[in-house]
Structure 1
Amino acid sequence: MTLDDTDRRLLSLLAENGRLSLKELAAATALSSPSVAERLRKLEERGVIDGFTIDVNARTLGYTLQAIVRVRPMPGQLHIVERLIQEMPQCVECDKVTGDDCFIARLHLRSMEELDTLLDGIAERAQTNTSIVKSTPVKRRLPAFLP
């Protein structure tokens, strides 16, 4: 699937500020508002844009800790552990990966005690290895194919 320069520019602008209006996007790309709307609709239809979202600062809501947890289910427990991870409201992201571990989960937490409680809930079914996030020097961003 190929993107032209205008599509890449629209995606880049929206990634930077998802609240830009069609009028603002049109001005930044030298298109009309209806043309921008049509391009965005086509990008959604093609699956390039999955949706529009907001970025919430979890710290302001009391989630002062982030943890990256590598999870290795015990034999025969893979699907159960996957379901348990999916049901954790503190888990904001989880990847199923190759290698020694099966899952890498990112958790937002209010305390170390909350982390212990969550890990205790899967301890009989999986081994875990946890790292506390000190900072995020590279926040989630678009791949390098966009300007």
Structure 2
Amino acid sequence: MTANEASRLDSIDQRLLDALAQNARISLKELAQVANLSSPSAAERLRRLEERGIVTAFTIDIDPAALGYPLQAIVRVRPLPGQLHVVERIIQETPEFIECDKVTGDDCFIARLVVRSMGELDGILDKVAERAETNTSMIKASPVKRRLPPLSSR
């Protein structure tokens, strides 16, 4: 199956994905109702979406502030020469880094981290700064949360 074939969605698939994006814990019965399908048909559609690699996980959305992490930052990271893999490992092993992308351009990584205080942020960045240049921006608000890409070709 080509990438184009895998990504083609009909209106039923789109309704299923929209419903799951709103509530990953939706019951199969409710999911079937949303798509005007029987429960076995909805389950089969969902299984095929997983097989095609379109649905890769069912997850939850947690508010870091409710867990005691009121501050979030975006950190751009440019490893010093020869330190790329070491910096990547530091980021992977630091649980406060909740997302990280390896990117092209001047920086090698763009990461999101959560912290309890500015002091905690300094401590984490100190570990990275021994092996990389960093540029940090504090997040004030997130007007667009992570969301699905457009599902139809409009």
Do these two structures clear the TM 0.5 threshold for a shared fold by scoring above it?
yes
Q: Which residue of 2 aligns with 1:23?
A: 29
1:145 Cα deviation (Å)? 2.4
Q: Which residue of 1 aligns with 2:133?
A: 127
Q: Which residue of 2 aligns with 1:40?
A: 46
**Distance in 2 (alpha carbons) for counterparts of 1:90 and 1:122:** 13
Aligned pair count reads: 147
1:47 Cα deviation (Å)? 0.7
Q: Which residue of 2 aligns with 1:99?
A: 105
RMSD: 1.1
Contact conserved, 2:9 with 2:151, CA < 8 A, in 1? no
Please list the CA deviations of residues 54-89 of structure 1 after superposition, one character each: whole Å capped at 9, or x if unmatched: 111111111000000000000000011001000110
Counterparts in 2 of 1:68-79, with a 5 A limit?
Answer: 68-79=74-85
Q: Please say if 1:3 is aligned against 2:12.
A: no
Contact conserved, 2:96 with 2:113, CA < 8 A, in 1? yes
Q: Which residue of 2 aligns with 1:66?
A: 72
Please list the CA deviations of residues 96-133 of structure 1 after superposition, one character each: whole Å capped at 9, or x if unmatched: 00010000000011000110000101112100000000
Unmatched runs of 5 consecutive residues or more in structure 1? none
What TM-score does the superposition give when structure 2 sets the normalisation length?
A: 0.93
Greater relative CO, 1 or 2 (CA 8 Å, sep 6+): 1
State the percentage of identical aligned residues: 67
Unmatched runs of 5 consecutive residues or more in structure 2? 1-5
User: After the TM superposition, which parts of structure 1 deviate over 4 Å for at least 4 consecutive aligned residues?
Assistant: none
